[in-house]
Amino acid sequence: MLKKKQVQRKNDNYRQKLDPSKPEELVIQKDYSANVSRIEEELGHSADLVIRQINIGIVNGALLFIDGIVDGKGISEFVVETLMDKQISSREVDVFQYVMDQTVALGSIKTITNWNDLYNALLSGCTIILLNGYNKAISGETRGGELRSIAEPTQQLAIRGPKDAFTETLRTNTALIRRRIKSPNLWVESMKIGKVSQTDIALLYIKGIAEEEIIQEVKERLQRIDIDAIMDSGYIEQLIEEQTFTSFPTTYHTERPDVVSSQLLEGRVAIIADGSPFVLTVPALFVQFFQAPDDYYSRFDLSTSVRLLRIISFLIALIGPSLYIAATTFHQEMIPTTLAIAIAAQRENVPFPAFVEALIMEVTFEILREAGLRLPRAVGQAVSIVGALVIGQAAVQASIVSPVMVIVVSITAIANFSTPVFAMAIAARLLRFALMVMAALIGFYGIMVGLMIMAIHLCSLRSFGVPYMAPLAPFSGPNQQDVFIRYPFWAFKDRPKFIVKGNVVRTGENQKPKPPKQSSHKSDKLEENES
């Protein structure tokens, strides 16, 4: 109990140092050496804190930055060299204003008057200049360091379309969206979340398209987050979702800038966390998780056929083993006689019922899939493929499972990979086991009861006030243009009305392709040539 009180007292002391209710503790002193000593003490004399003494004629000062998160070359060229070249001998000159206006050659500089802003700027990659005799500091934007370059997406792959993906740098991610939406109505708002980490968060939306109610709801939920640190956008996803106890994702995350840009144009709001290559967009709908980037870069008829195949694959991944268990356990009369005899002959030496047989194969395959993800890339894929082949063949020869069960589980696993978003694929994997139990208890009736419960649960979900199953439930006829069938682009006249209520017009009139009209002169010339 005493130890807990000591820890709580330390946390209270830490909060008091950054507590705005005590302004006397937040004021920067005029003695720059005292300020430098305080910064060193607050940061624990950290090895990555770089302090350089400077002299501008009659005024002494110090230059501070954190090594590794700043652009060292830019500091040397645009800060250090320019300060060394300037020497002030007159006491009538305001040195602080002179340094800001004519000395520091950085694109963004500002004045800092309290310790909260100073620590935030210093630990965010800015360079701090402290001058003796001034109770304020200069902050220059010098963020940099070793950053991962823009690469291809690793999860949401597309055969046709852009090949760039988000990185862990906040400003790089916002720039990737700015390149696609060159509109002044694309607003970017910033905030910090995390009492210790002080993670930079960016909120993006298109003013005039996104609904104000949704924007305010997103802001309120972000501001309610009270946590020590945000390490990834997944933290935010779990803290702002409306319902925790559900297998289905109610926020959409992607690593593709083109997907985020298209969803912003539909009236959604994007959330970018510094240090995370995945961007969140809300509201998220159930049908949205079956839409792949390829659907919009190919012809509508090809995209529609592939999307329908994707939905069928999801159903197979959801109820494939359950149908086999129900048919072989309760409803043998529904199986053709020849096939039933073949299945019975294969299962003759198998000592387990169909449910246990399916459970063994499903759990084994899930273990192999998880091991393939965690192993090094060079051996992970080989181990998962070879392991599945060897274990499946050995299990059949040992009469633990039947060959038909191996085929059913394999088709189910392959169909599960057809879902474009990994979060929805995981939901199908979890619900598959529940439906297997229902099928083992009462057959097809159990599967139907399980699907009805799932449908009721889906219809009860909301994503930032928007029904999760829209536009299917509640049904909206005009918004069926991008659900099961992807209409041609000239038919996308309106934005989703269940998300956007004001500016719904997306496409102008007369966008449908038409054959070119031949002039009378060309027609006469063609008739002369024919004659």
The per-residue pLDDT for range 350-372, each reduced to its tens digit, is 888 999 999 998 998 888 888 87
The per-residue pLDDT for range 270-320, each reduced to its tens digit, is 999 999 999 999 999 999 999 999 889 988 889 999 999 999 999 999 999
- Check residue 10 and give its pLDDT: 43
The order of strands in the sheet holding 252-254 is: 186-193, 199-206, 269-273, 279-282, 252-254
> What is the signed CA dihedral for 145, 151, 154, 155, rounded to 10 degrees?
100
| pLDDT for residue 530 is more than 80 | no
User: Tokens representing 489?
Assistant: 């682009």
* pTM given for the model: 0.85
User: Tokens representing 418?
Assistant: 């057809």
C-alpha distances out from residue 161 to 69, 259, 295, 398, Å: 33, 11, 10, 48
The per-residue pLDDT for range 481-507, each reduced to its tens digit, is 889 998 888 888 788 888 888 777 777
On whether the CB atoms of residues 176 and 150 are closer than 8 A, the answer is yes
| Token pair 């004519």: residue | 102
From CA 362, how far away is CA 364, in angstroms rounded? Answer: 5
On whether the CB atoms of residues 443 and 261 are closer than 8 A, the answer is no
On whether the CB atoms of residues 358 and 325 are closer than 8 A, the answer is yes
Nearest to 250 by CA among 499, 474, 461: 461
Burial 102-129 (b: 16+ CB within 10 A, else e): ebbebeebeebebbebbbbbbebbbbbb
Helix (H, G, I), strand (E, B) or coil at 109: strand
**Secondary element (H or E) of residue 193:** strand 186-193
CA 361 to centroid of chain Cα atoms? 32
* Concatenated DSSP letters of 249-290: -SSEEES-HHHHHHHHHTT-EEEEETT-S-EEEES--TGGGG
Strand 126-131 to 137-141 pairing = antiparallel
Beta bridge partners of 53: 62
On whether the CB atoms of residues 190 and 267 are closer than 8 A, the answer is no
C-alpha distances out from residue 274 to 190, 263, 280, 421, Å: 11, 20, 12, 22
What pLDDT band is residue 12 in, cutting at 50, 70 and 90? very low
User: Which residues, in sequence order, are CB contacts of 530 under 8 Å at separation 6+?
Assistant: none
Over residues 212-238, mean pLDDT: 93
User: Tokens representing 485?
Assistant: 């069938």
- Check residue 105 and give its pLDDT: 78
On whether the CB atoms of residues 282 and 269 are closer than 8 A, the answer is yes
Over residues 332-340, mean pLDDT: 88
